Amino acid sequence: MYDFLIAPFVEFGFMQRALMGSLMLSIGACPVGVFLMLRRMSLTGDAMAHAILPGAAAGFLLYGLQIVPMTIGGLIAGAIVALGAGAVSRFTVQKEDASMAAFYLISLAAGVLIVSLRGSSVDLMHVLFGTVLALNNDALTLIAMITGTTLLTLAIFWRALVAECLDPLFLRSVSRLGTPVHFIFLGLVVLNLVGGFQALGTLLSVGLMMLPAAAARFWTTRVEPMCALAILIGFASCVAGLLLSYHAALPSGPAIILSAGVIYICSIVFGTRGVFNTRTRHHRHRTA
């Protein structure tokens, strides 16, 4: 048991850094995923994950696979897409889902094209799917800063974020925080996706954000326990995925997301609000 569960994280530094980085990502990204889900913006996270690609690709084109240029580029690209899509939905007849889809498709195509100008297919795979086992100290520092910023922002704007999930029109009618909080929240989404792409790539970083949140929804209805449970599910997914990657020689990023997917499917079936318990309650109600 020791050799299977603990030894990989004790004996190898790259496994320790991968575990530390992925756990920090879970702490920041999973609560953001809960709010995305409650605001019915789950696919927005996927769109934003694609949106950071051209900025990261531009940093790669100019400086190669260096963290700081790719991160700055990703932040700029994500901010442009978030603000652009938000502005289009606020000031035109087009809804936010349509404007976001348009922006992210343009971003995805531009990012792949930029990477292809200089890099190989290996470089493209690195940008798209990440290399969690190759995290270095600079990447861990960046992820720690993003996680700290996320937690601080959530603590400051918690009540406003919860209110906007429940009734955004009411929040805007009683407070001026409605629109600013919306864009602050989109900024948190971009920030965590930029941190996640270092480990999981632009295509899979949204998985660690949304799958634990979606799984937690089948166990509780309160926001605070849902966020805590999502973080714990994220932890379990990261540990299981890294162990699966190590012992079965599988790509680490997909292994983490697939582990989260297994927990999500189990939650659908066995969660307190899942299929099995819902059917049991209905059966008891009919026989009562």
Q: What is the pTM of this model?
A: 0.86
User: What b/e string do you get for 69-86 counting C-beta neighbours within 10 Å, with b at 16 or more?
Assistant: bbbbbbbbbbbbbbebbb
pLDDT for 27-44, tens place per residue?
Answer: 999 999 999 988 887 777
pLDDT for 61-109, tens place per residue?
Answer: 787 767 778 888 888 888 888 777 777 877 777 776 777 778 878 888 8
The stretches in the chain having pLDDT less than 70 are 65, 96, 118-124, 126-128, 169-170, 172, 202, 278-288
Domains of the chain: 2-287 (1.10.3470.10)
pLDDT of res. 123:
62
Give me the residue label for tokens 């094209």. 113
